[in-house]
Structure 1
Amino acid sequence: MRKKLYNVSQIELMYKPKVKACDRPVIKDVEDVYGIFMQCWDQGKIELIEEFKMILLDKGSTVLGVINISSGGMNAVTADHKVVVTAAMLGKASGIILAHNHPSARLTPSEQDIALTNRIKVAAGSMDIAVVDHLIVNPAGYYSFANKGLL
């Protein structure tokens, strides 16, 4: 009997949509994006801890899904650009919209927010995935990187 010298993990690529294509919302403007994110955000946490979420889009701006990327503390959240791009590829996204909240209710981006957005944009772009927007959200409103010319 031959002894196995290597134990390796099996990797499987899979996509299991739970919503029919005809029932998925289409993004027409930033208000649609904000509405979708607000439906997905736990309202008990939005003013307590920072979280980072992402909408996956097909080429026609139809929403393929929403994913929670990470959860942080009261003042910061870390989002790994490798996780963001991997999730977008597994979800067969052509575009992504990023969002995170500021429990402080301040809607302006920090230098770290801008740097993270740029890292994700470069990483996603290398896989032909467009970063359509990045929103900073709270219950009262949003800040859109795209609307402010930061993408």
Structure 2
Amino acid sequence: MSVQTQNPFFSISEIKVSYQPKFKASERPQVTTSQHAYDIFYENWNHDIIEMTEQCYMLLLNRSNRVIGIKEVSSGGMTGTVIDPKLVFSVALKSLCTGIILCHNHPSGGLKPSEADLMLTRRLVEVGKLLDLQLLDHIILTKHCGFYSFADEGII
């Protein structure tokens, strides 16, 4: 009786990617300004924890800036959240989007971007160029003070 060994190259997991939109592109909201993007984010934010927990969401947009979807990227503590560029771009690639708008809140109520916010934004812009996925804006929002747009301020 011989003992058969299983070849490790044949026992690997298969990766499948699928995308199933629920609406026609013409029925999706079109983002034309930072105010419009802010309105979509603010409407979809969990207002019960907006002043307690820093979170980050992203809007995924097609070539016409119509919204494909919104995705929570991270949720952290009172003073920060970790935004992993690999996660941001893996979701973007899976959704077949061409543009991304990132948004995170500041529970403190301040709108001024931190040095970490600036560094992350620059990094995402550079990675996006390599993948032909444009970071169109990065928005900071608060519950009562409105929003800050990196694009409007000329940072993107």
TM-score (norm 2): 0.92
Q: Deviations over 1:43-98 (max 9, x none)?
A: 00111100011000111110100000010000001100111011101011100000
Question: Is 2:151 the counterpart of 1:146?
Answer: yes
Give percent identity, aligned residues only: 38
Q: How many residues align?
A: 151
Number of the residue aligned with 1:101: 105
SS at match of 1:126: helix
Number of the residue aligned with 1:3: 5
Number of the residue aligned with 1:78: 82
SS at match of 2:126: helix
CA distance in structure 2 between the aligned counterparts of 1:17 and 1:49, rounded to whole angstroms = 30
- The Cα of 1:17 is off from its aligned counterpart by 1.1
Number of the residue aligned with 2:128: 124
SS at match of 2:131: coil
Counterpart AA for 1:76: G
Number of the residue aligned with 2:92: 88
Bigger Rg over Cα: 2
Q: Deviations over 1:19-61 (max 9, x none)?
A: 2323210012111101100111100011110001100011111
SS at match of 2:155: coil
- 1:52 alignment partner, one of 53, 56, 59: 56
Listed as ranges, the gaps of 5+ residues in structure 2 are none
TM-score (norm 1): 0.95
